[in-house]
Structures are given as C-alpha cells and as structure tokens.
C-alpha cells in the first residue's frame, strides 16, 4: 500500500508505523449509535483511516443533543443522525468506505449487518440493544467495544476477545440480567456532563484501533471507569464465570427468536401508543389527564394543562392520577413507555393508559411541519 501523507504521523509513530496503518486501512468497524459516544468515536476512526465504517442509528437530531454531539449543527435539527454523520465524515476523509443504516437494530437485521465487520462499537443508550449486541457478537465471534455514561462517570470495556489465558467475557458476565427500567434512568432524566461522552467515545475508538492493529493492550475482560469530578479512574476485572441467572440465546436461530424488549422489560402491549396528530386532537378532552414524566427543567414545556411527575417520582405519586384516560409524555417516547406500563399495572383495567409515540420531540416536528 502506498504511503499517504494523511497518515504521516502514524507512519512516524514508534511501535505503529506502516504495518499498523495498513491493518487499519483494511479494517472494518461498525458503530451502533451516532449520538454522544458515537460522534467522537466515528470522527477519530475515520481520521485514523479505518477502511470501512458502518453507522447504525434511526434517531433524528434534537436541540438537546448539541450539548455533547458536536458532529451536528443547529441547522440540522430534525435530520437523521446517521445520514448527517456520514456526509460530514466523508468530507473529513473521502478515502473511507462509509455506510449509513437509518434503522432500528433488531434480531431481524442484526446478523447480516454485524457479519460484515471486524469490530463492533456499542455506542447505544438502551439495555435492549446492549444485550442484543453482546449476545450476537458472542455468537459470531466479533470483538465488542462497550461504552456507557452516567452523569459524570463513564465506562469502557472490550468483550468477546480472549486474554492471555484464553478467557473471553461478555456484557452478561458484567450484568447477567437487565435492570428494572424504572431503576435505570438515562441522560434525559439525570443529565450528563457534555464532555464526558467525548472522552469515552474517543477511548472506544482507541480500543478499536488497538484491536485492529495489534498495538497495545486492549481492555479485554476488564472494565475501566472514569469519574470526571475527581479525575479518578479504575480498571476492574470482569468475572470469568457467567452467572447461572443469565438468560441468553445459544444459537443464531435462538437469537432471531429472542425478545430483547421483553427481556429488558420495555415491551408494553397493554399501553396504547398514540401519534402526535391523535394526541393534539384528544389531549384536552374530558376525562383525559396528560402526565409529563420528564424532569421539571426539561424543555420545551407543554403549552396546555397537564401534571408533571418525573419518572423516578412516579411510584409515590400514583394517587394524583384520577382520570379515566391517562396519556403519558416524555421527550422521546422511551420513558413514557416505562411509565405507561407501570401505571397500567397500578391503576388497573378501569383506567386507559396511552403514551405519546416519539415524545415531545415528535410533537414539535408535527406542530412545526
């Protein structure tokens, strides 16, 4: 492969050089999630010269994303993250083969997508996709670079890669079973320091580069945590033995039939979904109570009568809900699913519970469209 001045600093780097750069340029990395973690990971992987990069994300850009997802601009709000990221990354390095997939990763499409890549980066923000990726990468023998953020703290790990003793661990070795959705708030609820995903995403890119080139020691079977408030970091060993309570697919056919939403407690068959159009038509009707489960400081505010009960405070405030039809609202529709299922169980069959599909973000697009 001819020398390329774009990578001259890698050529000159002791222990890296042309050999490692050539490996990068023939490498293939799939990044699942083009948000806070995915944006920096993608930028550095593309700049480094990874030959083929896939981007999976079905979300659109929101104003609240821009505090940490610095690949996007204000003028791109409402557009698909994967498409905008791919377009900008091609400008950064037109020599890279970049494939964008505007879709929701599921058991129906994941096998075909993951099989075409050497390393997978988990830059997601939900447990269903994390477990799906971990299980599938284990079945396909694909290295998985995990990253997660919470408030001021981040985590990084490399799964499904054997250490010097031949031991491989997965996300399930760390967390055998998913947490209760009501006990697992995301950054929509608790917030996140904007620079944190930039740091963790960049470290995920670093681990991918090490895996592709063989340079350095990846975080195989180890979990690294970083706290930005006091600059503390720790590297912990992940248990080598998988807990007996773990339930997971053991074959590809089992994987394709595995219900990850059910597994993670986020399938809500008894909670009716309503579209933004339907919501605007009925939200002020008699006997209807709109419950906003966002935090009190989240914007924009709903411009009509409603009750605001943050998701974490919902269990102790059920008595405030006394209407025949409850419509639960949040920013993106995820928290409202959890809350709707909880209220459905607590209020019983006499109360109809619905949730706004796509949340306030979808409502804004509908009202401005």
CATH number at residue 107: 3.40.50.720
**Last residue of one domain, picked from the residues 263, 281, 296:** 263
Least confident segment among 60-64, 254-258, 280-284, 355-359: 280-284
pLDDT in tens, 112-167: 999 999 999 999 988 889 999 999 999 999 999 999 999 999 999 999 999 888 88
Same structural domain, 134 and 237: yes
Tell me the C-alpha to C-alpha distance, in Å, between residue 86 and each of 44, 65, 95, 259.
13, 17, 13, 30
Tell me which H or E stretch contains 294: none
Q: How far is CA 366 from the centre of its chain?
A: 25
Same structural domain, 334 and 314: yes
Same structural domain, 155 and 296: no
Same structural domain, 39 and 78: yes
Q: Which domain holds residue 338?
A: 272-368
Overall domain count for the chain = 2
**Last residue of one domain, picked from the residues 233, 263, 293:** 263
- What percent of the chain clears pLDDT 90, i.e. is strictly above it? 59
Same structural domain, 136 and 222: yes
Kindly give, in sequence order, each residue whose CB lies less than 8 Å from that of residue 301, ignoring residues fewer than 6 positions away. none
**Last residue of one domain, picked from the residues 263, 281, 300:** 263
Q: DSSP string spanning 25-65?
A: HT-EEEEE--STTHHHHHHHHHHHT-SEEEEE--PBP-GGG
CATH number at residue 284: 3.40.250.10
pLDDT value at residue 171: 94
pLDDT in tens, 59-82: 999 998 999 999 999 999 999 999
pLDDT value at residue 212: 98
pLDDT value at residue 242: 86
Instruction: Give the global pTM.
Output: 0.77
Same structural domain, 9 and 105: yes
Residue 364: pLDDT band (50, 70, 90) is confident
Same structural domain, 202 and 292: no
């Amino acid at each position: 492969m001819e020398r390329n001045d774009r990578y001259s600093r890698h050529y000159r780097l002791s222990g890296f050089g042309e050999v490692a750069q050539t490996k990068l340029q023939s490498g293939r990395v799939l990044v699942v999630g083009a948000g806070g973690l995915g944006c920096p990971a993608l930028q550095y992987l593309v700049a480094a010269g990874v030959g083929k990069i896939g981007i999976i994300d079905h979300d659109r850009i929101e104003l609240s994303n821009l505090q940490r997802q610095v690949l996007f601009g204000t003028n791109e709000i409402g557009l698909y993250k994967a498409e905008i990221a791919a377009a900008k990354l091609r400008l950064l390095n037109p020599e890279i083969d970049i494939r964008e997939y505007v879709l929701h990763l599921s058991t129906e499409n994941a096998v075909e997508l993951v099989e075409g890549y050497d390393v997978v980066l988990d830059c997601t923000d939900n447990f269903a996709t994390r477990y799906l990726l971990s299980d599938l990468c284990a079945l396909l023998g694909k290295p998985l670079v995990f990253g997660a953020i919470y408030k001021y703290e981040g985590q990084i790990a490399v799964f499904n890669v054997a250490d010097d003793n031949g031991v491989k661990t997965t996300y399930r070795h760390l967390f055998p079973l998913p947490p209760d959705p009501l006990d697992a708030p995301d950054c929509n609820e608790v917030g996140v320091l904007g620079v944190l995903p930039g740091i963790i995403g960049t470290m995920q890119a670093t681990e991918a580069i090490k895996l592709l080139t063989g340079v350095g020691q990846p975080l195989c079977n180890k979990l690294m945590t970083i706290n930005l408030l006091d600059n503390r970091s720790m590297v912990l060993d992940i248990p080598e033995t998988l807990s007996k309570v773990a339930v997971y697919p053991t074959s590809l056919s089992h994987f394709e039939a595995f219900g990850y939403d059910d597994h993670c407690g986020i399938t809500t068959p008894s909670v009716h979904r309503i579209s933004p159009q339907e919501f605007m038509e009925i939200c002020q009707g008699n006997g209807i109570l709109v419950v906003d489960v966002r935090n009190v400081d989240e914007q924009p505010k709903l411009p009509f009568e409603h009750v605001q009960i943050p998701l974490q405070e919902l269990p102790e405030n059920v008595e405030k809900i006394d209407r025949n039809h409850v419509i639960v609202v949040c920013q993106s529709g995820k928290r409202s699913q959890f809350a709707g299922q909880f209220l459905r169980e607590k209020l019983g069959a006499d109360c109809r519970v619905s949730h706004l599909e796509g949340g306030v973000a979808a409502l804004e697009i509908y009202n401005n469209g």
